[in-house]
Structure 1
Amino acid sequence: MLQEPELDCGPGLPCEKRYFPDSLDSSDADDEGALACEDLEINPFDGLPYSSRYYKLLKEREGLAVWKDKYPFMESLLQSQVVIVAGDAKCGKSSQVPQWCAEYCLSTHYQHGGVVCTQAHKQTAIQLALRVADEMDVIIGHEVGYAIPFENCCTNETILRYCTDEVLQREMMSIPFLGCYGVIILDDVHERSISTDVLLGLLKDVLLARPELKLVIITSPPLVSKLRSYYGSVPLLEVRNPHPVEVVHLRVAPDDPLMAVLQLVFEIHHTGEKGDIVAFLACEQEIEKVYEIVCQEGTNLNPGLGELIVVPLYPKEKCLVFKPNEDPEKRSQVYQRKVVLTTSAGESLVQSSSVRFVIDLGLERRKVYRPRIRASSLVLQPISQNQADIRKQILGTSSSGKLFRLYSEEFLCRDMKPLKAAELQEANLTSLVLFLKRIDIAGLGHCDFLSRPAPESLMQALEDLDYLAALDNDGNLSEFGIIMSEFPLDPKLSKSILASCEFDCVDELLTIAAMVTAPDCFLPLPHTGAQEAAWQRRTELLHPEGDHLTLINVYKAYQEASESCVEKWCSDHFLSHAALRMAESIRDELLDIMRRIELPYSEPAFGSEENTRNIKKALVAGYFMQIARDVDGSGNYLMLTHKQVAQLHPISCYYTMKHFPEWVVFHSFNISENNYIQIISEISPELFMELAPQYFFSNLPPSESKDILQQVINHLAPIPTTKKEQKNKEKLCEECPEASAEARCVIQ
């Protein structure tokens, strides 16, 4: 029996209801469990008295749309193992539900563990942890903390932990059944990230093994039916934001969507109506274009209307979440209207109640992986109806919000799919398969996915792991594969780090790994008269042996810069201080992993000819599937594994030096308007043949490049005594790659 007794909070004080299972309440009650609540002036989470700010924030919390559902939620959590919360954006579910779960764990004296809440974006994990720590009146990093890739702000005493879904996924490698948690909350499930889908599948088995564990799934309403058919008929709470929003559709799509966005921004500003603007664009390049134009034209606007402040938000980068300016001195100055520019998946980054206008382009540029050519392509396509609805809900806290959709209602119904496509069906799955192979060791290898990945992508991932010597002859993880899975990196990069142990260039490879994992550190150079001076500073950091070594140059120069003026040094060289600071954190964590698993570490020897060659050996050992050749001497690079042609990226040191090496190893390649290969270094065909597995070479498609490599291998390898022996050798390589198993057990 569940009951909610009356509460006397005292005159003038707000009430916060706390719910506990009856079995843990000192009062008499039946065995079914009951809900008890009491007014606590002492914070039960840290044992200190509540501050006045706590009661002020509590009043604000009580105004959230989700607050009225606290009692039904706690009742469902007590009685069921899985609870689904479906709510509109900005209703408070991501901040309040975890706090209620923390109260539940407090009531059980944490005998089953604390609370972890996953987020699809690291920015929101940080911001939610900061906000919730403030609302719970505790210290961030103690009772409430966050963990994102390469950054951990938690202790062993942390009760409520926000983290990205990929952090919790990796945690399952060492703690498969997540025994340190009593409640697991999967938030932003409708984002359909790979890690969230993996967690949904693996937790089905964990729940069976741990009946005391609670799982809370927070999503948008359209995904509910799919989730309930996946997990069964579990309790559902739906939260709606009641505020109406004025929606304006265009009858015909504009010829130039970006100009339409710019025109609308300036028209809104000229009306004089107060409120910030959020514009959803298709890609980051569009953000940069609109940002530049608004900054230029903003200086010519009527100063009486206020100042336009452009705020670019990149969902994939470590940027701040957009929040209102709370500085009273700033508010007293001239009126400032923020224009927030973001892309798809940026909805959760906008947490400001000052937004009154939303401009929705209705398009997004998604990265879709093509397993046959081992490359991604950028595809411009409509967003989903669910995404369009979430963008509308950003204005849910405003009673006078306006949404401008730069597409027709017919386009919304005809061309937009109901739900966003799962990332699992569009991404490179090599890292995922490596993880599943690793988790299989703990008995959790079976994963019943909400949406099944494409078989072709899975097969290509298995093939790549086999080439990287991560699998044994039975298809299980090899010793190298287990070590590779310890690194939170792309398997090719992990393999290069392993190879660096053999080639005595660990220090340099850790720097390269950190720099390519962090956001791009190179900022756009100015288009003004200072461009020549900017280029001069940039070229001081270039290395003639390639972009990988240039990255080492940049990092070393950053490390040597005086701490008091490092930001100025970055600004002078048009480098991102935030990106370099993150690279520093990533490198430290990679070094910690090396020490933990007792891999050998070699002292730095950067600058010597031998060290340069060893770095390239280590790179080729991991990236032999990403080799290209200049087929005509003018910078047209043909991929070794397929027929795609690419160009050098303009930021490459070779592009700057007007030097086009014949053979290169590259870090990434996207099929887009320019087909650039990025972060490249010159290699020799002899180096490739020395380090690439023979059975990988034999599977390459016929080409002029393969013929050249065959001549190299004929020159390097001993000549068989008879033609019959030569034919037998080729037949063995082509038909029975397993016979070359020994080659795969060598760090290459």
Structure 2
Amino acid sequence: MPIFLQRCFLKKKKNLTFLLLQIPQWCAEFCLSVQFRHGMVVCTQIHSQQAVDLALRVADEMDVNVGHEVGYSIPLEKCCASETVLRFCTDNMLLREMMSDPLLERYGVVIVDQAHQRTVAADILLGLLKNITLLRPELRVVVMSAVEPTPKQLTHLSGSEVPVMRIETQGAGEVVYTSSGGNYFCSALRLVLEIHHSEEWGDVVVFLVTTQEIDLAHDILCHEGRSLPPHLGELVPIVMHPGQPGSLPETERARRVILTSSPNEDFFWAVRSIRFVIDAGLEKRWVFNPRIRANSAVIQPISAGQAESRKQLTGPDGKCFCLYPNDRQLPAEVRPHIVESDIASTVLFLKRMDISGMGHCHFIDRPDPEGLMQALEELDYLAALDNDGNLSEMGIIMSEFPLEPQMAKTVLASCEFDCVSEVVIIAAMLTVPSCFIDPPGELKAEANRSHMKFQHPEGDHFTLINIYKAFKQHQQDPYSNEEKWCQDFFLSHTALLMADALHAELTDTLKRIELPISVPAFGSRSNTLNVKTALLAGFFMQVARDVDGSGNYFILTNKHVAQIHPLSGYGAKSPKRGLPEWVLFHEHSFSEDNCLRTVTHITPEEFIQMTPQHFFHNLPPSESKDILQNLFHHAARRCREEKRPSQEERQQEQTSERCVLQ
């Protein structure tokens, strides 16, 4: 047993029950054996739902109630108590906990699962744990990986040979390589139907690439399933998007076809009914470009480790169809997210941890230097850093919020401009997944009409306030069915519940740090202006101008031209509505459709009022910048004139001076 309690990597194969249910319990028994002298056990997961599911299953095995000896904590939900000895949580939650407990003194064992996914949070956690283990040699760290760890990972925590324990199985079943001729989507659906006609027992997992492919495959299989002979049984396609794993519905005499994409491989280790895997061998990754401050979608081959994990899902009696040739050279390992992500939030967190200089955090792979400089520059523009590069008072308060730095700055600005109630709603709605449901086919037009009923003339940010307030009104009405209301208006009930929970958390944070919360004033002209001003305080880097009056918006920071997304209140679904010249936007989906999402009309005067001068001067030259420059000079001249004393005032000053001299 002690080998599990030292710093080790575990090669995870088929038996998820053994790994994820037994090992945390063994660690808890170890802590119990020393009477929890060094603390309790925490086990991190990437996805919230996995943390909850594991806590429920472990509590059941230990014959205790979840929330007592075994618990979990995930964003917006906490189910644990003072007597909790084994807690499951997301890696992000453990990082936030380190802001108040930097040495994790509550814990004797830290289990980091799914390390092979190389998420930003997991890599930062492992980097900080290296420092902690030097200061707390009694702390035990267990790292679990589904693929063979690299030498760099093995030597990371201790700098020497790390004990490794591998859990081997009988291996994968039959593997069939087949060329899809470039059309893996059609090949995958054809294989699903062929498997179903073979009448062999077992569920199917299909690894596609994009969410659009997953949704389209679901619709096609639903349509095809209606014409299948009854004796074959029902074909039940199930959509499982990355980051949103949930429980699979139980079915009788039916074959489940689970449609998913990377990085969802880990979720299926516990699904024993899987017998067939269809693997496109590709994945979609978002790569942040610091020069244009936008993410680009990149389709690339999966790693050799991912391919092997997918083959193992079938067990020894199943079959994996690889829709690529056997001789294809796959990357040896997953590319770490920290080298291709926007790390502004990460840098803010590390600064909060009093890490001066990135060399003090022991990264397995260091962030991209250009991305790091961009992150530091953004925090400087947001006044989160002082002249020495350390966190300013503003930055310290910003780090208290579970928000991106720009949104955190917006919330703080709302305290100054007396519009906290409205801005907190916007922050919550934009942080959780989109509440808009965009159905395919004939329902799309009906959904657009439903969404237009909430449109606000000032822009999409205000539309989100309308939606949230309408949802709360129906939620508080005892005679209203809020879930049916969401369904009728093509809104996501789950997303709105998440927004409501985050709204409550943000409000509690404001009260805890004793910041003022304004009385709601939504709808008044002054409140509208204040909300826009607060938004510009955080998002002045995301402003664009319609250069030709036809909807071609020039983005000031990177000189790219984009269009407003059709689902926006200013988009194609509202053709009678005029297009504003200047807009503030929340997101630029650069590589998908080159559209600006969540757009609100602003004026150039409002922009120059809230923009830091050093940011404005660093904008690349353009006609739009010249317009703003003229406005800036005009405003400065007017300000000087207002401050310049009149001739009568100058005479009074001279008289006063003479009197003083006498």
Tell me the TM-score range normalised by the shorter chain: over 0.9
Please name the residue that 2:506 is paired with.
Answer: 590
Would you say the 8 A contact 2:351–2:390 is kept in 1? yes
Would you say the 8 A contact 1:378–1:670 is kept in 2? no
For the residue of structure 1 that corresponds to 2:411, the secondary structure is helix
Give the residue type in structure 2 aligned to 1:235: P
Would you say the 8 A contact 2:438–2:447 is kept in 1? no
Please name the residue that 1:628 is paired with.
Answer: 544
Would you say the 8 A contact 1:279–1:359 is kept in 2? yes
Quickly say closer, same or farther: Cα 1:336–1:160, change in 2 above 3 A: same
Would you say the 8 A contact 2:147–2:309 is kept in 1? no
Q: Deviations over 1:665-703 (max 9, x none)?
A: 111112224111111111111111000101100000001
In structure 1, C-alpha distance between the alignment counterparts of 2:547 and 2:202, rounded to whole Å: 55
Give the residue type in structure 1 aligned to 2:215: E
Please name the residue that 1:235 is paired with.
Answer: 163
Would you say the 8 A contact 2:28–2:85 is kept in 1? yes
Q: Deviations over 1:170-203 (max 9, x none)?
A: 1111100011001001110001011111111111
2:600 to 670, 681, 686: 681
- 1:676-715 correspondence runs (5 A): 676-715=595-634
Please name the residue that 1:264 is paired with.
Answer: 191
Please name the residue that 1:558 is paired with.
Answer: 471
2:12 to 87, 95, 108: 87
Please name the residue that 1:248 is paired with.
Answer: 176
In structure 2, C-alpha distance between the alignment counterparts of 1:373 and 1:221, rounded to whole Å: 34
In structure 2, C-alpha distance between the alignment counterparts of 1:336 and 1:574, rounded to whole Å: 29
1:645 maps to 2:561? yes
Would you say the 8 A contact 2:564–2:595 is kept in 1? yes
Quickly say closer, same or farther: Cα 1:526–1:222, change in 2 above 3 A: closer
Percentage of pairs with the same residue:
52
Q: Which moved more, 1:557-566 or 1:350-359?
A: 557-566
Please name the residue that 1:484 is paired with.
Answer: 398
RMSD over equivalenced CA pairs, Å: 1.9
In structure 1, C-alpha distance between the alignment counterparts of 2:174 and 2:434, rounded to whole Å: 39
Please name the residue that 1:467 is paired with.
Answer: 381
- 1:102-501 correspondence runs (5 A): 102-230=28-156, 231=158, 232-250=160-178, 252-317=179-244, 319-322=245-248, 325=250, 331=252, 335-350=253-268, 351-396=270-315, 399-411=316-328, 414=329, 416-440=330-354, 446-501=360-415
Please name the residue that 2:461 is paired with.
Answer: 548
Return the offset for 1:274.
1.4
Would you say the 8 A contact 1:87–1:221 is kept in 2? yes
Please name the residue that 1:745 is paired with.
Answer: none
Q: Which moved more, 1:230-239 or 1:193-202?
A: 230-239
In structure 2, C-alpha distance between the alignment counterparts of 1:393 and 1:648, rounded to whole Å: 44
Would you say the 8 A contact 2:438–2:444 is kept in 1? no
Q: Deviations over 1:433-463 (max 9, x none)?
A: 1011110179998211001111111111000
Quickly say closer, same or farther: Cα 1:508–1:213, change in 2 above 3 A: same
For the residue of structure 2 that corresponds to 1:434, the secondary structure is helix
In structure 2, C-alpha distance between the alignment counterparts of 1:77 and 1:339, rounded to whole Å: 36
Return the offset for 1:500.
0.3
Q: Deviations over 1:305-348 (max 9, x none)?
A: 1111111111223x4143x62xxxx63xxx21111011101112
For the residue of structure 2 that corresponds to 1:403, the secondary structure is strand
TM-score, normalised via structure 2 length: 0.92
In structure 2, C-alpha distance between the alignment counterparts of 1:345 and 1:441, rounded to whole Å: 31
Q: Count the aligned residue pairs.
A: 631
1:520 maps to 2:434? yes
TM-score, normalised via structure 1 length: 0.82
For the residue of structure 1 that corresponds to 2:275, the secondary structure is strand
Query: 5+ unaligned residues in a row in structure 1: which ranges?
Result: 1-73, 722-748
Would you say the 8 A contact 1:124–1:321 is kept in 2? no
Quickly say closer, same or farther: Cα 1:107–1:284, change in 2 above 3 A: same
Please name the residue that 1:19 is paired with.
Answer: none
Would you say the 8 A contact 1:362–1:406 is kept in 2? yes
Stretches of 4+ aligned residues off by more than 6 angstroms: 441-445
1:657 maps to 2:570? no
Give the residue type in structure 2 aligned to 1:128: L
For the residue of structure 2 that corresponds to 1:310, the secondary structure is strand
Give the residue type in structure 2 aligned to 1:691: M
In structure 2, C-alpha distance between the alignment counterparts of 1:304 and 1:634, rounded to whole Å: 57
Q: Deviations over 1:337-367 (max 9, x none)?
A: 1110111011122231111111100111110
Return the offset for 1:253.
3.7
In structure 1, C-alpha distance between the alignment counterparts of 2:392 and 2:13, rounded to whole Å: 46
Would you say the 8 A contact 2:344–2:376 is kept in 1? yes
In structure 2, C-alpha distance between the alignment counterparts of 1:221 and 1:172, rounded to whole Å: 28
Query: 5+ unaligned residues in a row in structure 2: which ranges?
Result: 641-662
Would you say the 8 A contact 2:4–2:23 is kept in 1? no
